[in-house]
Amino acid sequence: MPSLRCSFFGGTLTPFLYPALCASSRASIARRCPLHARYSSTTTGSTYDPPVLPAAHDSHLDPTPDNYSLTPFADRCIVTAEAGSGGHGCVSFLREKYIEEGPANGGDGGSGGNVYIQAVRGETSLHKLARRRLIKAGRGRNGQGKLRGGERGEDVLITVPVGTIVREILRHDAIADEIAEQWRNERQPPKEQTEEEEASSYRKDKWLVFPGMVPSELNRMTFPVLPAPRKSHLAALQPQAPIWLDLDKHMETPLLLAAGAMGGLGNPHFVLPNQSRPKMATRGDEGMKVSMQLELKILADLGLVGLPNAGKSTLTRALTNSRARVGSWAFTTLQPNVGTVVLDNHKGRPAVMKRRRDGELRENFLIADVPGLIEDAHLDKGLGLGFLRHVERAAVLAFVIDLSAGDAVAALKLLWREVSEYESLQGKELNAATERRMVTYSPGKITSNQGDPFGDLDPPDLNSLKPLPFLTSTSITSKPWLVVGTKADLPETQANYEALQRYLGEVKSGAQPHPSNRKNAWKHKVQSVPISAIKGEGVEVIPQLVMDLLDE
């Protein structure tokens, strides 16, 4: 492919956005056409010498712009999961030689597909689900003649990252509503009904009739009583409504969210002594719809917290193979980046050997680079609340401090202030949600002529009421943490780091309060590490420190 000349893009932003394109094109032109660089234009009389740029220094820690990789990320979305509807029953009759009018042999419709959810390792974002919005299982096939039932609808599996919270917003279950209405009607005293009232009328949304029937014949038909509404036996495995799940562990087997609807009944189910050839069948039931809010609070082993331009993205590149964007300006990271720190690459003895709580050897751990926090981030300034919630899902916190950007102790106190204030706001929201959920039961006054206030209904058993489950999470201030001092290779940073080290020693001994000013905050093994992330110096000790803190 021939290289492009930069003069083609003179009136555009291409040279500014893609400098490597123009540099490579100029070098290619100079190699193939030396005269272009040596001689000048006859109209101006000036000599044009294109600059010969040196080869770009392509490093993983100090990359060129074409080395960046922006991974699509979404940490919150609303998804509607719809179970498959049931297939329709079949109206069919036996047709063979010497059988003039055979019996009914229509098959039943197949049940709809189910909707499952599963939290798996490897998924780090909800952007795939955010684009779909509607996730629908397959519809059951219709029944066929010769008593052949329809096939089941295809199931759907929703895969989400570990650390996803599922909250139900809205539910539409027509079959459950019919069952509840039937139960209420059964509790009422029975009424005397005539034979005409016992017979059901034609309902287009419930009945299917033999094709080719004229309206006059349809009006003369007598339809039996509609069958009772049915639910799949798999519906017993669904979580209780409203759905409130915290998928904080890897799931080996999926969880059923919505069971498929039942299929319709074929015409053999409506054979009566006075009606041996019924010409009707029932339609399949409507599938259940559940609208859910999915929220991802990244469940990482190590979470990086720091001010803008502190070196968090460069540290992530130094520890992992992440291709996060880096730069010498603030807010280069606009979304959380998740990287994997490999402890054992199976090419020799691992440098760090640790076991999980279940005894399995750790091969890696996850690191989450949260966008930079500014002052009053807990008031939703900057990127604030949108990413502060990812901090509370990390097992260990690493506060990244730029040693060349002023007082390191003041920067650490500022970060802890924002994190602790966010935790206080979360506690207030949880208390408000608890008050909204609490219901105080107070029976009305009973007079002597009222009799039993509940009538034929069973009195409520208040002891059997179970409160809705709440999301359990370790408080942020009680998590293990360490301090990473970046840019330690720059001059005049040693005194700043020594002051930070003295302050952490006083916090550990109790001479100084915890930076969050919380009484029960964690300060057992507070440590600090000076590093130069862009040179990769000092970062090799961080995995061992993280593994030791995970045991806490």
Q: Is the pLDDT of residue 42 over 60?
A: no
Q: Is the pLDDT of residue 250 over 70?
A: yes
Q: What is the pLDDT of residues 365-422, one digit of tens each?
A: 888 887 756 565 445 554 545 556 667 778 888 998 888 888 888 888 888 887 877 7
Q: What is the pLDDT of residues 70-111, one digit of tens each?
A: 567 777 899 999 999 999 999 999 988 888 888 999 999 999
Segment 106-120 shows an average pLDDT of 94
pLDDT band of 455, cuts 50, 70, 90: very low
Q: Residues with Cβ < 8 Å from 313, sequence gap 6 or more?
A: 322, 324, 325, 326, 332, 333, 337, 369
Lowest mean pLDDT among 260-264, 283-287, 482-486, 507-511: 507-511
Are 134 and 290 a contacting pair, CB within 8 Å? no
pLDDT computed for residue 417 by the predictor = 83
Listed ranges 112-126, 180-194, 450-464; the one with the highest mean pLDDT: 112-126
Say which CATH topology domain 297-436+478-552 has.
Rossmann fold (3.40.50)
pLDDT computed for residue 150 by the predictor = 92
- Cα angle value 265/267/271 (rounded, 5°): 115
- Give the residue carrying structure tokens 């979304």: 335
Q: Is the pLDDT of residue 152 over 90?
A: yes
Q: Is the pLDDT of residue 202 over 60?
A: yes
d(CA 279, CA 211): 9
Q: Which residues pair with 397 in a beta bridge?
A: 303, 481
- Cα angle value 219/220/225 (rounded, 5°): 85
d(CA 198, CA 201): 9
d(CA 78, CA 336): 20
Q: Residues with Cβ < 8 Å from 59, sequence gap 6 or more?
A: none
pLDDT band of 337, cuts 50, 70, 90: confident
pLDDT computed for residue 113 by the predictor = 94
pLDDT computed for residue 69 by the predictor = 57
d(CA 480, CA 408): 19
Residues of the chain with pLDDT > 90, as a percent, come to 18
- Give the residue carrying structure tokens 């003039």: 100
- Report H helices in 362-459: 384-388, 408-437
Q: Is the pLDDT of residue 14 over 60?
A: no
CATH code of domain 76-187+201-296: 2.70.210.12
pLDDT computed for residue 40 by the predictor = 35
* Overall size of the chain counted in residues: 552
Across the chain, which distance is largest between two alpha carbons, in Å?
116
Whether 76-187+201-296 shares its CATH topology with 297-436+478-552 is answered: no
String of b and e for 205-223 (b: at least 16 CB within 10 Å)? Answer: eebbbbeeeeeeeeeebeb
Every domain of the chain and the residues it spans: 7-43, 76-187+201-296, 297-436+478-552
Global pTM reads 0.69
Are 370 and 391 a contacting pair, CB within 8 Å? yes
